[in-house]
Structure 1
Amino acid sequence: MMKSADIALENVTLTLGENRFNFDGIIAGGAINAVTGRSGSGKTTLVNLIAGFEAPSTGRIIIGDKVMNGIHIADRPVTLVFQDNNLFAHLDIFTNIGLGIDPALKLSPDDKARISKALERVGLKGFEKRKVASLSGGERQRAAFARALVRNRPVLLLDEPFAALDPDTRAEMGALLVELHRETGNTVVMVSHEPDEMDRLADHRLVIEHGRFSARY
């Protein structure tokens, strides 16, 4: 089990057009944290700041004991899973997951074994040579989780990862998320609009209104 990491946002500000965001608070380490709020409130902006896609105008973002300001996206201790999976359609599943270990695909025998083990863990044993286009929506999300497993980062960021799935598949993927979280002890930040999903999966909720944390529970 990996060491859990709190995420601290110290008076983090950002202006995008006419929208101003100001996040100040701590996201609990080693827990599943659901982020909710109205459309445009700043949920995805929060994820982008933690991941490094956006740089704060002021303030500091700290993961564990390390300040993230100025740290390149690839060097941050985070893995991201989005609604569209970020899988490359022209590559097979094994290669897609291998990119999570090394973008140059210089994979050692141990790396290849990790990929096979991750695929087996998420229920995709034997899918190594399958192309993305041949997979269902749930299978694509399972592949995205396998890539997160091989990256083995202490923070997992999820931006509405199950939104395009049917209810049964959505429930299956939520259960898999909880299982993997229990095994790794990682810090999960999950954007969601579904109250039932948050009740079922999350340890904590963060509510964002007008670009700020308005409630935590």
Structure 2
Amino acid sequence: MLTLEALVLQQDDFCLTADWSVAAGERVALIGPSGAGKSTLLMALAGFLAPAQGRILWQGADLAGVLPGDRPLTILFQDQNLFPHLTLTQNLGLGLSPTLRLTQAQEVQIETALQRVGLGGMGGRKPGQLSGGQQGRAALARALLRARPVLLLDEPFAALGPGLKAEMLDLLDEVAMATGAAVLMVTHDPSDAKRFADKAVLVAEGVAQAPVATAELFANPPQALKEYLG
């Protein structure tokens, strides 16, 4: 279980609080106005921002002092975290070995993951040779390889058209099922939240509110969400 215990995040005059938990396998959408702190919250969970107060716990253990690469999570950003000078095999290989000294068994793992997301045989290509949708698939293949118990996504499919984005959300669903990961996904699109996430967190007015059923949140939106949705 991932727990945000009386968490306070502070950056200059910006402050965000959160006090809730996410169980293994849960899918949670983070939604709210731009600048409300959704990405900031993910950065704190990933270890790039230290809490001003409170704790971030995984299975009851405080993650304070745990380096980003050693945390039990994978994070995907809008740029898909792919290094342009590396091939797909190398990009995915970083998730298994930071030195890229891959064993034959690891190379087989990588190709299997690429096949699973529809990129079989493309391991030798570089990100610039791929479409946006293919880059998203590659990023999900790396998440599949890493198989960390928490997956954080910061609008990774925002630049895609509606049809392709729906396809990627379905693929994300498959990856989450395969790894059993708890997923926290930042989105500005209510339809994405409804399609993928069982629960949703409203981030607004300095608070990341406790997760509630996604359908319930949009059926009875609080004033801050009404204003955001327009």
**Same-fold call, TM cutoff 0.5:** yes
Give the conservation status (yes or no) of the 8 Å contact 2:18–2:210. Answer: no
Superposed displacement of residue 210, structure 1: 2.1
Alignment partner of 2:188 out of 193, 201, 204: 193
Structure 1 stretches lacking a partner, 5+ long:
1-5
Superposed displacement of residue 133, structure 1: 0.6
Amino acid of the residue matched to residue 142 of structure 1? R
Does 1:8 pair with 2:9? Answer: no
Q: State how far apart, in whole Å, the 1-side matches of 2:127 and 2:66 are.
A: 31
CA displacement 1:166-192 (0-9 Å, x = unmatched): 111101100101111122211000001
TM-score (normalizing by structure 1): 0.94
Secondary structure of the residue that 2:200 maps to in structure 1?
Answer: strand
* Structural mapping, 1:116-195, within 5 Å: 116-195=111-190
Amino acid of the residue matched to residue 163 of structure 1? A
Q: State how far apart, in whole Å, the 1-side matches of 2:23 and 2:185 are.
A: 12
CA displacement 1:141-178 (0-9 Å, x = unmatched): 00001111111110000000110111111011001011
Amino acid of the residue matched to residue 193 of structure 2? M
Amino acid of the residue matched to residue 127 of structure 2? V
* Structural mapping, 1:17-32, within 5 Å: 17-32=12-27
Deviates more, 1:43-52 or 1:56-65: 56-65
Q: State how far apart, in whole Å, the 2-side matches of 1:213 and 1:21 are.
A: 7
Identity of aligned residues (%): 45
Superposed displacement of residue 28, structure 1: 3.1
Does 1:204 pair with 2:204? Answer: no
Q: State how far apart, in whole Å, the 2-side matches of 1:87 and 1:104 are.
A: 16
Q: Which residue of 1 aligns with 2:108?
A: 113
Give the conservation status (yes or no) of the 8 Å contact 1:23–1:211. Answer: no
Secondary structure of the residue that 2:160 maps to in structure 1?
Answer: coil
CA displacement 1:103-137 (0-9 Å, x = unmatched): 11121222111101100011000101011111000
Say how many residue pairs are matched. 212
TM-score (normalizing by structure 2): 0.89
Q: State how far apart, in whole Å, the 2-side matches of 1:162 and 1:198 are.
A: 13
Does 1:70 pair with 2:28? Answer: no
Amino acid of the residue matched to residue 127 of structure 1? M
CA displacement 1:61-109 (0-9 Å, x = unmatched): 0122321111000100110111111111111111111011111112122
Superposed displacement of residue 215, structure 1: 5.1
